[in-house]
Amino acid sequence: MFKNALVYRITQWDQPELHVLEEKLSANRFAECGASQAESFGWVEPRGEKHGPMVEVVGGQLMMRIVIETKAVPSSAVKTRLEAELDKIEADTGRRPKGKRAKELKEQIVHELLPRAFSKRSSTLVWIDAKAKLVIVDAASTKKADRIVTLLVDVLGGGIILKLLQTESSPSTAMSQWLKSKEAPAGFSVDRECELKQPDSEKALVKYARHNLDIDEVGLHIEQGKVPTQLALTWDNRVSFVLTEAMTIKKIKLLDVVLEGAAAQEGGFDTDVAIATGELSQLIPNLIEALDGEQVIA
């Protein structure tokens, strides 16, 4: 159910009744882009059933889903049309528009071409663990997750304050130590995927894929100044994932021991949510502990 997880700490929230949450999301329901609209966003039924609840509660966990649709005109089409317009104006007036006037022409062309542009739609799960005071967004980048969190705060009327969860040891620092010592933190094991980057102007990059990382060569790269930006890990032989320098949990995969147990249960949305949140609600605290705990800002 979750392919990625970016974790936010709830620092303040007077949690409203469920029917109030339902009303707030229903009032901001997704509608597709209009003909000349570049972007549209809104909330949909997380279960995927029309006219169903906008907030699903499974085992005390709140599940929501946001859809963002964008329409983009190919830059090559805009450039070709703009050059033609500029050439025409230059031929008619003897002067070629520049600066503000050229920018206005470009914006006008984009607006005119938008009705013919293809739309791109993405759907993202948002999980609120009110008891643990966490919000988890199924996004692989902080830019996308921050945008969704901003929309969530807006729809809740500003009654919730969130901050991206930070740990005492940065993921890069911890991953460097694990790789150099060839020893993973308790409850975790290092897998066969890693990315190391030189933090200078050249940005030299080394990637290992399907490769044993228990080798001196990896430690040598770190000693030479390269910093781990991604590292594949497995937690408790139950969940594999990739940890990034931005504290993103990517490529989440439930392993056989979890799936075998799930096979004995009746499938469906509720079962999927229960299994995914059950595993991640244990993995996340363990990962925070492995990174020396959550950062406390006075």
Domain contains 238: yes
pTM for this structure?
A: 0.86
Query: What's the domain range around 129?
Result: 6-72+118-164
pLDDT-derived band at 141, boundaries 50, 70, 90? very high
* Residue 106 and residue 221 in one domain: no
16 and 128, same domain (yes or no): yes
Element (H, E) at 92: helix 75-93
Confidence (pLDDT) at 38: 85
Say yes or no: 39 and 10 in one domain.
Answer: yes
Per-residue pLDDT tens digits for 43-97:
999 998 888 999 999 999 999 999 999 988 888 888 998 999 898 998 989 889 8
Lookup: tokens for 288: 């925070």
Exposure string of 11-45, with b = 16+ CB inside 10 Å and e = fewer, is eeeeeeeeeebeebbeebebeebeeeebebbbbbb
* pLDDT above 90 (res 296): no
Query: Does 226 lie in the same domain as 268?
Result: yes
| Together in a domain, 185 and 255 | yes
Give the length of the chain. Answer: 298
Asked if residue 297 belongs to a domain, the reply is no
What is the tens place of the pLDDT at every residue in 227-269?
A: 999 999 999 999 999 999 999 999 999 998 888 877 667 678 9
C-alpha dihedral sign at 140, 141, 146, 147:
negative
Is 161:13 a contact under the CB 8 Å cutoff?
A: yes
| Average pLDDT score over the chain | 92
pLDDT at 110: 84
On whether both 142 and 233 belong to a single domain, the answer is: no
Q: How far apart are the first and last CA of the chain?
A: 36
Q: How far apart are CA 164 and CA 162, in angstroms?
A: 7
The sign one gets for the Cα dihedral 33, 37, 42, 46 is positive
Per the structure, how many domains does the chain have? 3
User: What residues contact residue 76 under an 8 Å CB cut-off, 6+ apart?
Assistant: none
Domain annotation covers residue 295 = no
Pairing between β-strand 134-137 and β-strand 119-129 as defined by DSSP bridges? antiparallel
In a domain? residue 296: no
Q: Which conformational region is residue 220 in: left (phi greater than 0), alpha (psi within -120 to 50 degrees), or beta?
A: alpha
User: For residue 106, which of 126, 127, 124, 84 has the smallest C-alpha distance?
Assistant: 84
Q: Per the domain annotation, does 179 fall within a domain?
A: yes
* Residue 97 is assigned to a structural domain of this protein: yes
Determine, yes or no, domain membership for 85.
yes
User: How far is the C-alpha of 259 from the C-alpha of 265, rounded, in Å?
Assistant: 10
Phi-psi region of 141 (alpha: psi -120 to 50; beta: other; left: phi over 0): beta
